[in-house]
Amino acid sequence: MPIETAPGLEAGVLLASILFCLGLAGLMMRRNVIFMLMSVEICTNAAALMFVVAGAHWGNADGQVMFIFVVTLAAAEVAIALALVLQFYHRKHTVDIDQLNELRG
Amino acid sequence: MQGLLAWVPLLPLIGFLTLVAFPLFNRHEPSQRTVACIGVGSIGIAALFTAIVAISVFWKNPSEIVNIALWQWMLVDNLELGFNFYIDWLTLVMLMVITGVGFLIHLYSVGYMREDADFRRYFAYLNLFVCAMLILVMADNLVLLYLGWEGVGLCSYLLIGFWYKEPANGAAAQKAFIVTRIGDTAMAIGLFLLFYEFSTLNIPQLTAAIDGPDINNEVVTVACLLLLGGAVGKSAQLPLQTWLPDAMAGPTPVSALIHAATMVTAGVYLIARMHPLYLLSETAMTTVAFVGALTLLLAGFSAIAQSDIKRVLAYSTISQIGYMFLALGVGAWSGAIFHLITHAFFKALLFLSAGSVILSLHHEQNIFSMGGLYRKIPLTFICFTIGCACLAALPFTSGFYSKDHILLSAWEFHQGINILWLAGILGALVTGIYSFRVLFLVFLGREGSASSHCNDANTPVMTIPLCILALLAMIGGLLAPPLQAVFGSRPDEDHSAWIEGVAIAMPLIGLAIAWKLFIYQKKSGEKRSSIMQFWFSGWGFDWLYEHLLVKPFKSLAKINHNDIIDNLYKGTAALSRQLNALLSSSQNGQVRWYLATFAVGSVLFLALLVAL
């Protein structure tokens, strides 16, 4: 049953949405792979925030557990992604994502 | 002895294969002597074998039947067809005509074609033709007959277009092939129908099966009419007669062999062979008779107006085969076959004589350029005169006996004056006119423009066949074959003398008319009265078919130049190519673009979920 005293659910959801949209916009607009990775971090954090807000709303600790998972996942993802970025830069001498367009129809 | 019969069609086939395969073994073109030995020899031995069997097996016994089973041809469900030969007297008569007259014409060809570069090709085709024709008459089932039927059609096509460098000859060959194909298609459907009804295509079994109790007469009538369609095409009868005059584009001995003596009579043979079937259907019989009567008149009048010596003979062939169909239609089977035999003799004689004339005049064929040739080529003149006398059925020639037989049968058929008999009598008059017209214009009368440079081109190899054929044409009337065993005998009836008198008088009147009109006719054949022009064009059938069939077909073909049906498939291909271009342009390799579409898609999907 929801806990009425929790900070405003709507504010939390709104914040998460805005964060996610910012991340998504950055992901679509940035061509630099490093910046795109950072945008992905924002997106994942927005999702993680959503878990926390929802957990707080339902008075359930699972949301926070999910947050730990998301952070771990983000760390792992960044480790792999940065390795890929390094390889990319090594081969192309650039970090412009638009240069990676050889797999086209 | 009977086994020799299997060799009869095989020998011309061997001759054909040897002539065709010659370049495989020998780098040099064989000499004319070698080619002639193979080409003429194969037919000669076949004729000899036929004669031996005829004398030793068939002579004493008119009801003798020889079956020769060679091998099984096809076996599909309950359709069992053998490569088998069935020889009774009807077949034997055809065999003798084909090999005998065929041999004489082959021999004549050696002289006629001596200056032609394609000597070997000519004899190869001719041998193949004889082989196919022999298979046609010896077949014991209708499918094997059809094989021979198509084989002779093919050889006819090849030989009409023998001098293929002239486009007109190729066109004539195509015309012959296509027009006969119309008939052949009808015949094939007839065969399917017969098989559907009787579950067999074996001729003896078929003729036995029609005695059965539950025969559907309507199916038999339709099948008979369809077979008649095939016969009409092959024998150049109304309405498919237009190909034969054009077929004269081939070498003259070919016209003698294929387009006078043998192939064009295949239709007569077919109907005579299937006569028990026709006896079941009065409609079919009447149709046959009227087709014959109409054709003999139409072609006879056309022959009066022609100016090309070979076209006169072509129309006369159509007309005489019309007589045979008339005989078939009134049930005078043996009369039709008898006329077939005598016609083979005298028409081959006429064509070969015409060939001598043409060769002597350096390939001039216009009868209005000829005249007075009797002094320059007397032997040819005598042979041609005998041929004309037989064609016109002057008394005591072979044509007289056979045509008289037909006219009397037509008389008996309705017991009195009837339209078929009148057509036959009128035809006899017309025959007299056109046959003596051509004789007078070519050999008598004033000399024409081409007559002056006429030198006798006859060689012994040409004159010998001419003399033998002339003899056969004279005495052929005594050679009525004993066909009662095949067709059943008919009681002889007494006829009042005037019927015979009319039949004798008509050709003589025709002769008198021809004498009056044509003996000293001015050599300006180009100006014709309108009726003559109409007859000259063969009653406008060519014009009619040109406008009714050929031109609409050609314009349709033009409309369909780009193949309308094909557009369906082209459209399908174009559509999928467009879709492919569309979809593959979305796969542009831009990660951010994928991401954007993914985002938009997700939003739309979510919006949809919310909205629902």
Note the pLDDT tens digit of each residue in B524-555: 555 677 777 777 787 888 888 888 888 998 89
Q: Which of A24, A28, A101 sits opposite B588 (nearest CB)?
A: A101
- The residue in chain A having the minimum alpha-carbon distance to the alpha carbon of residue B595 is A28
Report CB contact under 8 Å: A27, B583. Answer: no
Q: What is the pTM of this model?
A: 0.78
Give the whole-number percent of chain B exceeding pLDDT 70. 97
Mean pLDDT to the nearest integer, B216-239: 88
Note the pLDDT tens digit of each residue in B282-309: 888 888 998 999 998 999 888 888 888 8
Note the pLDDT tens digit of each residue in B391-402: 888 888 888 888
DSSP B77-125: TTEEEEEEEEE-HHHHHHHHIIIIIHHHHHHHHHHHTTT-TTHHHHHHH
Read off the pLDDT band of B376 (50, 70, 90).
Answer: confident
Partners of B588 on chain A (C-beta within 8 Å) are 101, 104-105
**Best mutation target, B586, B588, B591, B603, to test chain A (most A CBs within 10 A):** B591
From CA B537, how far away is CA B534, in angstroms rounded? 5
Note the pLDDT tens digit of each residue in B87-137: 888 898 899 999 999 999 999 998 888 888 888 889 999 999 999 999 999
- The residue in chain B having the minimum alpha-carbon distance to the alpha carbon of residue A28 is B592
From CA B514, how far away is CA B374, in angstroms rounded? 18
Report CB contact under 8 Å: B592, A31. Answer: yes
Residues 34-63 of A with CB under 8 A from B: none
Q: Residue type for B347, please?
A: K
Partners of A27 on chain B (C-beta within 8 Å) are 592, 595
Read off the pLDDT band of B575 (50, 70, 90).
Answer: very high
What pLDDT score does B205 carry?
Answer: 85
What pLDDT score does B188 carry?
Answer: 93
Is residue A103 within 8 angstroms of chain B, CB to CB?
Answer: yes
Partners of B595 on chain A (C-beta within 8 Å) are 27-28
Is residue B587 within 8 angstroms of chain A, CB to CB?
Answer: yes
- Pull the structure tokens for residue B576: 């999928």
- The residue in chain A having the minimum alpha-carbon distance to the alpha carbon of residue B590 is A101
Mean pLDDT to the nearest integer, B564-586: 90
- The residue in chain A having the minimum alpha-carbon distance to the alpha carbon of residue B593 is A28
From CA B373, how far away is CA B449, in angstroms rounded? 12
Partners of A105 on chain B (C-beta within 8 Å) are 583-588
Partners of A101 on chain B (C-beta within 8 Å) are 588-591
DSSP B476-503: GGG-----HHHH---------HHHHHHH
Q: Which helix H or strand E contains B69, and what residues bound it?
A: strand B66-76
Is residue B603 within 8 angstroms of chain A, CB to CB?
Answer: no
Note the pLDDT tens digit of each residue in A46-69: 999 999 999 888 888 898 999 999
Is residue B591 within 8 angstroms of chain A, CB to CB?
Answer: yes
From CA A10, how far away is CA B300, in angstroms rounded? 111
Partners of B599 on chain A (C-beta within 8 Å) are 24, 28
What pLDDT score does A1 carry?
Answer: 52
pLDDT tens per residue across all 105 residues of chain A: 555 555 678 899 999 999 999 999 998 888 899 999 999 999 999 999 999 999 888 888 898 999 999 999 999 999 999 999 999 999 889 888 888 878 776
Partners of B592 on chain A (C-beta within 8 Å) are 27-29, 31, 97-98
Contact B70, B82 (CB under 8 A): yes
Report CB contact under 8 Å: A28, B599. Answer: yes
Nearest Cα of chain A lies from the Cα of B608 at a distance, in angstroms, of 19
Is residue B585 within 8 angstroms of chain A, CB to CB?
Answer: yes
From CA B504, how far away is CA B66, in angstroms rounded? 39
Is residue A95 within 8 angstroms of chain B, CB to CB?
Answer: no
Cβ neighbours around B123 below 10 Å, total: 25
Is residue B530 within 8 angstroms of chain A, CB to CB?
Answer: no
| CB crowding A58-87: b at 16 or more within 10 Å, else e | eeeeebeebbeebeeebeeebeebeeebee
Contact B365, B308 (CB under 8 A): yes
Q: Which helix H or strand E contains B73, and what residues bound it?
A: strand B66-76
Contact B267, B321 (CB under 8 A): yes
pLDDT surpasses 80 at B493: no
Burial of B526 from C-beta contacts in 10 A (0-12 / 13-18 / 19+): exposed
Q: Residue type for B15, please?
A: G
Note the pLDDT tens digit of each residue in B335-366: 889 899 999 999 999 999 999 888 888 888 88
Cβ neighbours around B573 below 10 Å, total: 10
What pLDDT score does A76 carry?
Answer: 94
